[in-house]
Amino acid sequence: MLLRHVVLLRFSPGADVARVEDAFAALADQITEIQSLEWGTNQSPESLDHGFTHCFSVGFANAAARDAYLVHPTHQAFSALAKPHLADVLVIDYDAVDVTR
């Protein structure tokens, strides 16, 4: 089963959004515990985003791999880089259950 680590970002005014996007996306090549990483910007017409514009979904084999990622020096460096650009962050992790057939 795949563990998904979903990160929603709300940027501060004047943030260097492209720098944060590029740095987050680069984590996939720098941290071996990451099995998948996809991201995109909000496209919902429902106006329920509460100002969050970016979603990053990171896949791990299990909670131990996610835990190793969280303390990985490269992830810690990314967090320090991103923090000044962010107004808010929302994170949720879940075990992905595929119900499609």
| Structural domain spans, the chain | 3-94
Identity of the amino acid at 3: L
Element (H, E) at 36: strand 36-41
pLDDT digits (tens, 9 = 90+) for 48-63: 999 999 999 999 999 9
CA 19 – CA 39 distance, rounded (Å): 14
pLDDT digits (tens, 9 = 90+) for 1-14: 799 999 999 999 99
pTM of the prediction? 0.93
CA 52 – CA 35 distance, rounded (Å): 25
Percent of the chain predicted with pLDDT > 70: 100
Cβ-based neighbours of 15, under 8 Å, separated by 6 or more: 85, 86
Percent of the chain predicted with pLDDT > 90: 93
User: What is the CATH architecture of 3-94?
Assistant: 2-Layer Sandwich (3.30)
Other C-beta atoms within 10 Å of 23: how many?
Answer: 18
